Amino acid sequence: MLQIAHIQAHKEEVIAALQKRHFSKAAELVEKAISIDNERKSTQSSLNELQASANEVAKSIGALMQQGKKEEANLAKQKAAQNKQTVKELEDKFKELENNLINCLYEIPNIPHKDVVAGKSAEDNQTIEEWGTPPTLTDDAVPHWELIKKYDIVDFELGVKITGAGFPVYKGKGARLQRSLINYFLDEAIAAGYNEVQPPILINEASGYGTGQLPDKEGQMYEATADQLFLIPTAEVPLTNLYRNEIVKESDFPIKMTAHTPCFRREAGSWGADVRGLNRLHQFDKVELVVIEHPEKSYQRLENMLSHVKGLLEALELPYRVLRLCGGDTGFTSALTYDLEVYSAAQGRWLEVSSVSNFETFQSNRLKLRYEDKDKKKHLTHTLNGSALALPRILAAILENNQTAEGIKIPKVLQDYCKFERID
């Protein structure tokens, strides 16, 4: 959530920055927020003046009674009663305006970083790096959705039977490969200084608002309506909310956390060839990185997180590219996002496997997450997160890129985890 003080002080700059996202309601919502805030401030000023006046009247009643001025004292009592009612009305109005302001600010996305270009969609994202050479497969190579049937390692039909489409069942060596990837990603994160956490996979409404998943404009979260809880779309949500309403010390930075969780996304409106097999699921596993960082060091930290993810992909011998997302493709809460995509040789296209983002103060303002500097002053922290990594498309790329006539070769870095060298 943007800070209203920043919007008030830099209105035109904020509107211009939001237009890089092609956010059509930028000017309308910024003007609305400023108008509500001005009325809120005016109401607060009137309330302060009336409360001060009411206190003086209340004090005068006792003095008038001691002086025997009962008539004047009774008039003062009547005025005090009127003041009390007016104060209550102004307090209610102030609370309503505060709620209106917060709800308005909830609708405004984050300001893109200066390096983000003003593109409209994924076609305008900037490729900033490529690594590796896509493998040359034999003419009889097939996509992963055929490989998983051939080797009986992932079963979508059983998932439909148990739950529905988009909830696969991993079996045998498929399940072991999945578990090996999770353990490898966690071990690498821990070695890089991240503290492992096992958070809940259900969150309350306050947590959803804290990291920007709520208001849930696109209906992408699964909701347990009886208890007003939501299944997490990513471990970013519970991990970051561990520090909601907290004041950390400057010496605590960086606060680095990692977690493996299942993730749940409705993916409403998704269809077509691009979502076949493991390409897009309603439930999938992911190892997440979350960092709470000093504002002056957050972009250095973002590059560090990006390097960590690149190292994982290189160890898995998966050709990848790094994209800096344009304004129109950057997520609602992010100031700057790098996407990492691996090349799927059998499908002949790039698959997104990680997003690494800096949210600056957008989440911490919602979370009321601050740090105390050496002068005891409070400031908002910066928050960052990254997938390291999301498993389905990683698994798909490993299966497709490593298929041979003898079976599917397992990357060397995973063989000690899997306890097998190939799927055959």
Binding site as annotated, residues: 234, 265-267, 288, 352-355, 385
Cis peptide before 254 (omega within 30 of 0): yes
* Strand intervals (E) in 160-279: 169-170, 195-196, 202-204, 223-224, 229-231, 247-249, 255-264
Interior CA angle at 246 toward 240 and 252, to 5°?
A: 80
Residue 304: partners with Cβ closer than 8 Å, 6 or more residues away: none
Per the rule left: phi > 0, alpha: psi between -120 and 50, beta: everything else, 219 is left
Closest CA to 198 of 213, 182, 209: 182
* Binding site, annotated residues for L-serine: 234, 265, 288, 385
Report which residue type is found at 27. Answer: A
Residue 111: partners with Cβ closer than 8 Å, 6 or more residues away: 2, 14, 17, 18, 335
**How is the chain split among helix, strand and coil, in percent rounded to 5?**
45, 20, 35
Count, in order, helices (H) and strands (E) of the chain: 13, 19
Instruction: Report the C-alpha gap between 183 and 179 in whole angstroms.
Output: 6
* Binding site, annotated residues for ATP: 265-267, 352-355
Q: Residue 94 corresponds to which tokens in the numbers above?
A: 């102030």
